[in-house]
Amino acid sequence: MATRKAPFRYAAKKTNKMMWLIQAALVINVIASTVLYTIAGFDGLRLLISASLAVVVGVVTEYVFYRSWKRPKSVGYLILQKHAAMIPLMVALLLPLHAPLYLVAVSTVVAVWIGKLVFGGFGYSIFQNATVGVLFAYVSFAPQIALTPALIGQEVFYPIDVLKQALFNNELSGLDMTSLLLGGEYYTIAAGAMSGLVLIVLWVILSATRTIDWLIGATYVASVFAIATIVGGTELGIEMILTGMVLFAAVFLVSDPITSPTTRNMKILYAVIVALVTVLIRILGNNTEGVLFAILFGNVLTPYMNRNARSGTLRTFIQTAAIAIVITVTSGYVLLQMRQPVAEELNTTVEVLIDETL
């Protein structure tokens, strides 16, 4: 006879099951991207190898960590209960296809050790683990990860680079949106962001099974679209979503429950802020892709947002939605004002200065 506290039933939704569904989605993404890269004429199998390597390295890292901490855990426990394979898969999918294998391993170690384990392991992270590892690779190994024709053996470019150049010149990128949506033509900055369609399907499945909160991903994508639309029209909005990691982030990174805020209202604001920073970096910043920095910035704000969260009534929900719309529209409008005139003003000021000096 056992006694316990109420409740005697739980709503049937288990954390373990949710995490396994996310890992299944990641594996599907790996397989789909491998096929699509092969179709596009790249070495698709490389993704399969780097994903497998990342998983092995990630599990070994966790094992060594717990061992060195004098709390040894079995490999089976780490994979089944602590979901040791999830973060390595994300790291492999976020790095470009040509990333050297040693770099995949190093990023995985950084993501798992520094991003996840030092904060207490699964469930306790402050920063999205995979983002930490991948940003480390981008910041510390910039030359090794840079896209050089010699590395690939053929003339390739990232769609996001084309977009960035187009934004500088204040024109549209001219990329084929259908190919970006379906995948199998362009060489993407993140190996897992090959096909927008695959990610949308995964997002629908994960949302329908209530594994991820649909609201947060939807708000993120909608905000990116809205701000970009105000700046450069609907075409720019669609380009912003389909090039780069925005859809991947909507499915796996922004909607990560552990590092996002804990109330519905704050989740909406979080998604809007991440979207705003994404677009800011893309349009004004030096970096090409703003998603990872934006998510890290959002993670920094999460504890603050949790502390200032208020109850989720209809009234606060309407207030939050209103604030979200105001942020989106205002930032879009400000960006629109800042983009073109800055360059023109700079030119005129220089001309005036030259005139005055003469």
Partner 1 sequence: MQKQQSLRPSSVSIPLHNPTTKYYDLNVAVGERVLVGQKIAVRYNQEVRLPVFSSVSGIVRSVDSLEYVNGISMDHLVIDNDAKEEQVKARPLLKPYTAQMLRTQLVDMGVEGLDQNGLYTSLDFTNNINQVIVNAVYENAGFVKEDVQFFETHQDALIKGCYLLAEASLKPVTVLTNQRSFATKCQQAGLQVRLVRPRANKAWQVEAIASIIKQQPPYDLLSVGVIYTNAHTAKAVYDAIELGVPVTSTEVVVLLDDAKQQRIVETKIGTTLADVLAGANASAQQDATYFSGNVLSGSSMKSGEFVVHADASTVGYTSSVIEEDVCIKCGLCNDVCPVGILPQNIMDSEIREAEDRIYSYSVDQCVECGLCSYVCPSEINVLEWVRRAKRRVARGVE
| Of residues 47 and 112, the one with the C-beta less far from partner 1 | 112
- Whole-angstrom Cα distance, residue 352 to residue 346? 10
Please pick, from the candidates 58, 192, 196, 261, the single residue that binds partner 1 as defined by CB under 8 A.
261
- Whole-angstrom Cα distance, residue 146 to residue 95? 11
Q: What token pair was written down for 224? A: 């990116």
Q: Does 239 bind partner 1 (CB under 8 A)?
A: no
- For 49, 60, 95, 182, the CA distances from 104, given in Å and listed in that order, are 10, 14, 8, 26
Please pick, from the candidates 46, 98, 116, 267, the single residue that binds partner 1 as defined by CB under 8 A.
267
CB atoms within 10 A of CB 222: 18
Contact window for partner 1 (CB under 8 A) among 72-80, 95-103, 156-164, 259-267 = 259-267
Contact window for partner 1 (CB under 8 A) among 6-14, 94-102, 156-164, 289-297 = 6-14
Q: Name which of residues 97 to 126 contact partner 1 (CB under 8 A).
A: 121-124
| Of residues 267 and 282, the one with the C-beta less far from partner 1 | 267
Alpha helices (H) along 141-290: 142-145, 149-152, 159-168, 177-182, 196-208, 214-242, 246-248, 264-284
Q: Does 16 bind partner 1 (CB under 8 A)?
A: yes
Q: Does 67 bind partner 1 (CB under 8 A)?
A: no
Please pick, from the candidates 306, 321, 327, 334, the single residue that binds partner 1 as defined by CB under 8 A.
306
Please pick, from the candidates 68, 154, 169, 311, the single residue that binds partner 1 as defined by CB under 8 A.
311
Q: Does 71 bind partner 1 (CB under 8 A)?
A: no
Q: Does 142 bind partner 1 (CB under 8 A)?
A: no
- Whole-angstrom Cα distance, residue 207 to residue 213? 6
Nearest distance from C-beta of residue 245 to partner 1, angstroms: 23
- Whole-angstrom Cα distance, residue 229 to residue 245? 18
- Residue 343, judged by CB atoms within 10 A of its CB (0-12, 13-18, 19+), counts as exposed
Q: What is the largest CA-CA distance in the chain?
A: 97
Please pick, from the candidates 15, 140, 165, 340, the single residue that binds partner 1 as defined by CB under 8 A.
15
Question: Given the rule CB under 8 A, which residues bind partner 1?
Answer: 1-11, 13-16, 18, 121-124, 213, 257-258, 260-264, 267, 306-307, 309-313
